[in-house]
């Protein structure tokens, strides 16, 4: 009886060594047959009770050899099958097939228009100046000749920081002009694009955070004629406008001040709507820098003069692309954004 059990264990070991399953399914059957919870190795171990005591040690060693052989064979066969599968998959790849196309992102319309404005003024010598968005009261208001009782200083228009009544989110990029004049002597010729903040209710016509670009030119003998020719160049390059007009206005930091309109035309119903039937469209505010602003920033107003202008970039984008609602510029709707020029 014991000899038969020994011979059976040796036969199982020979079967394991000769087994060559060539697929995952056959390998799984091999595992179940030999080393599964109800497999042959388990049954061989249960035969230990039928082996005489003097033969138990030899039989135990034999069964352990069968178990180890089965486990080693299973691991080796598994690795061989997986390697063959990877090789087969690699052979199936068509290395000459065209790659999937990469879809470029799109520039935001505000970025497109901002870059165009920067490029236009860059061609006539204006350099870009950038500064902080968290600003102090002096650079944002006082330096720009804004009176203490001016409505712009009110809480309903300005985001003041809680920890300091003197610190705020800049309400215009004029603060960049103030810092530039404070730290540099003329000639100064800059444009200042960037984010600004107003404490306003979000609507189809306004937003609490938007973008501005302001320009500043200070040198000896700068006149209103220089301002007009600069803006005339901008209007032609930006809109293809053949005519501009300057209407008297008021800003605390310029004197005299003006609003600039471009002749938009009346080519379709939209033109009639946005120009209210006049063909003229308001684009920006401008004026000669008030001498007091120059003095505030340490520049001799008896020797130097200058002009400044400013515009909202969202407004320019809405005009350029005929966007009816400013909120579309902030909602990040891919369906809207993918209509604009692809990123370069």
Residues 164 and 263 in one domain: yes
* Cα 107 from Cα 116, distance rounded (Å): 12
pLDDT of residue 341: 63
Residue 102 within a domain: no
pLDDT of residue 343: 46
Residues 83 and 122 in one domain: no
**pLDDT tens digits along 318-343:** 888 888 788 888 888 888 888 886 54
Of the three residues 59, 89, 119, the one that is the final residue of a domain is 89
Query: Residue 3: is its pLDDT beyond 70?
Result: no
- Domain residue limits at 324: 109-334
Query: Residue 344: is its pLDDT beyond 50?
Result: no
Query: Residue 45: is its pLDDT beyond 90?
Result: no
Residues 122 and 6 in one domain: no
Of the three residues 58, 89, 120, the one that is the final residue of a domain is 89
Supply the CATH number for residue 290's domain.
3.30.930.10
Residues 138 and 56 in one domain: no
Residues 168 and 25 in one domain: no
The structural domain count of the chain equals 2
Residue 310, token pair as written in the block: 């400013």
Residues 229 and 186 in one domain: yes
Residues 157 and 274 in one domain: yes
Residues 85 and 8 in one domain: yes
Residues 37 and 150 in one domain: no
Residues 300 and 188 in one domain: yes
Of the three residues 54, 89, 124, the one that is the final residue of a domain is 89
Residue 96 within a domain: no
Residue 314 within a domain: yes
Report field, pTM of the whole predicted structure over 0.75: no
* Cα 232 from Cα 243, distance rounded (Å): 8
Residue 261, token pair as written in the block: 């309109």
Residue 25 within a domain: yes
Residues 171 and 204 in one domain: yes
Residues paired with 307 in a beta bridge: 217, 288
């Amino acid at each position: 009886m014991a000899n038969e059990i020994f011979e059976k264990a040796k036969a199982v070991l020979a079967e394991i060594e000769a087994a060559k399953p060539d697929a995952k399914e056959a390998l799984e059957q091999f595992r179940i047959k030999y080393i599964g919870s109800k497999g042959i190795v388990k049954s061989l171990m249960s035969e230990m009770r039928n082996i005489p005591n003097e033969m138990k040690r030899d039989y135990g060693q034999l069964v352990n050899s069968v178990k180890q052989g089965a486990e080693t064979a299973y691991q080796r066969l598994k690795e061989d099958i997986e390697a063959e599968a990877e090789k087969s998959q690699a052979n199936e790849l068509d290395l000459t097939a065209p790659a999937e196309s990469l879809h470029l992102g799109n520039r935001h319309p505000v970025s497109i228009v901002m870059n165009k404005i920067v490029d236009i003024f860059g061609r006539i010598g204006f350099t870009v100046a950038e500064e902080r968005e968290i600003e102090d009261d002096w650079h944002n208001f006082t330096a720009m000749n804004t009176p203490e009782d001016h409505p712009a200083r009110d809480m309903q228009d300005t985001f003041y920081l809680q920890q300091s009544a003197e610190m705020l989110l800049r309400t215009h990029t004029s603060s960049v002009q103030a810092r530039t004049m404070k730290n540099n002597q003329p000639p100064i010729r800059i444009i200042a694009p960037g984010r600004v903040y107003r404490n306003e209710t979000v609507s189809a016509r306004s937003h609490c955070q938007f973008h501005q670009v302001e320009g500043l030119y200070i040198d000896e003998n700068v006149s209103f004629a220089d301002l007009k020719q600069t803006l005339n160049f901008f209007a032609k390059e930006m809109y293809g406008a053949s005519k501009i007009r300057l209407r008297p206005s008021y800003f605390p930091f310029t004197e005299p001040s003006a609003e600039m309109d471009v002749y938009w035309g009346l080519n379709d119903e939209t033109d009639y709507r946005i120009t209210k039937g006049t063909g003229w469209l308001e684009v920006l505010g401008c004026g000669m820098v008030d001498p007091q602003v120059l003095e505030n920033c340490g520049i001799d107003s008896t020797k130097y003069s200058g002009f400044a202008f400013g515009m909202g970039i969202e407004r320019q984008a809405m005009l350029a692309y005929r966007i009816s609602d400013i909120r579309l510029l902030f909602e990040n709707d891919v369906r809207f954004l993918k209509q604009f020029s692809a990123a370069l």
